[in-house]
Amino acid sequence: MNNQPGDKLLEIQDVSTAFNIDGKYYDAVSDVSLDLYKNETLAIVGESGCGKSTLATSIMGLHDPNETKVSGKINFEGTDLLSLTDDEMNKYRGQKIGMIFQDPLSALNPLKRVEDQIQEVMVYHTKMDEKQRHARVMELLNQVGIEKPERIAHEFPHELSGGMRQRIIIAIAIACKPDLLIADEPTTALDVTIQAQILDVLKDIQNENHEAIILITHDLGVVAETADRVAVMYAGQIVELGSALKVFHNPKHPYTRSLLRSMPQRNSENDDLYVINGTVPSLQKMPTHGDRFAPRIPWVPASAHEENPVMHELEPGHFVRCTCYKVFDFPAEKEGAKA
């Protein structure tokens, strides 16, 4: 999308989120900086444990301040969300910023009917009367592609399928037409057909309401279909950032290249999928210096990594962390080159 200068909606500056574990604080998100523009879809991708959801809940202000430290700045339409009290933040949640949670069954109240749950956010943020709220619920259920909305509105969450529950969560998130929609793994545990339908719903909502969307996912196929820009996250840091076109067709960071190589390829004659060595480090074992991905690519010499890796702009809008990308190759490629 062609976002003009001045269309910036969200500016994340050097944000770190640390959790208290046995009296010590460990960073789950480390010095993350990102911008988001109006009517843009920014995908944040990476394996489980990379800090994607933690960053989302930091934006929403959902962490317990007694157990979590969030530092830096999160400027939303000129206001630093991290400077707000919880009561002040409540004015933004639901009205200005909506969130689609990854587990709709746990996000919905099992004791309340669908209509009551959708209306709840309207009762808090609007001056609509009951008749207006009911009309808006019907409008929302139609918007998210639910047939027979009058019947579904009176159902309880356990009476609905997973795909239907996810649509209800989306309806709640967009009830007040927020400027920013955060979708945390919105298609997890859904079959491929329902996934495609949910993604189409999100696209339609964005086209109608002109919302900015942060899409958090580990599914690179979803990203390729929906995102304008992509932030690749590893061990609490952004390691690559750029347009979806640049990141998919000219990936640079070894982690980005590894993720893409581990995806099934339609045209490949080799059925074996690439497996990334090792796992994402736990919070207690998170490195504080050097390239955090280095232990998973041990064949790359230590001299290729920066001691304190920073983001480098390779071309306008395309950034990569560390200089190791310059010498990185996969073991099979290395052997082929020698041969």
The DSSP H or E segment spanning 334 is helix 331-338
Burial zone of 85 (CB within 10 Å; 0-12 exposed, 13-18 middle, 19+ buried): exposed
Higher pLDDT, 54 or 220: 54
Q: How confident is the model at residue 225 (pLDDT cuts 50, 70, 90)?
A: confident
Mean pLDDT of the chain: 92
Q: Is pLDDT above 80 for 297?
A: yes
- Token pair for residue 110? 């099992």
Beta bridge partners of residue 73, listed in sequence order: 13
The answer to whether the CB of 36 falls within 8 A of the CB of 225 is no
Q: Is pLDDT above 80 for 6?
A: no
The whole-model pTM stands at 0.93
- Token pair for residue 291? 């390239």
For 193-209, how does the pLDDT look when each residue is reduced to its tens digit (9 = 90+)?
A: 888 999 999 999 999 98
Q: Are strands 41-45 and 79-80 parallel, antiparallel or unpaired?
A: unpaired
Q: What is the SS3 assignment for 94?
A: coil
For 237-262, how does the pLDDT look when each residue is reduced to its tens digit (9 = 90+)?
A: 999 999 999 999 999 999 999 999 98
Q: According to the model, what pLDDT value does residue 148 have?
A: 94
Across 313-331, average pLDDT:
96
Q: How confident is the model at residue 336 (pLDDT cuts 50, 70, 90)?
A: very low
- Token pair for residue 67? 């157990």
Cα separation, 219 vs 217, whole angstroms: 5
Beta bridge partners of residue 93, listed in sequence order: 97
Q: According to the model, what pLDDT value does residue 1 have?
A: 43
For 136-176, how does the pLDDT look when each residue is reduced to its tens digit (9 = 90+)?
A: 999 999 999 999 999 999 999 999 999 999 999 999 999 99
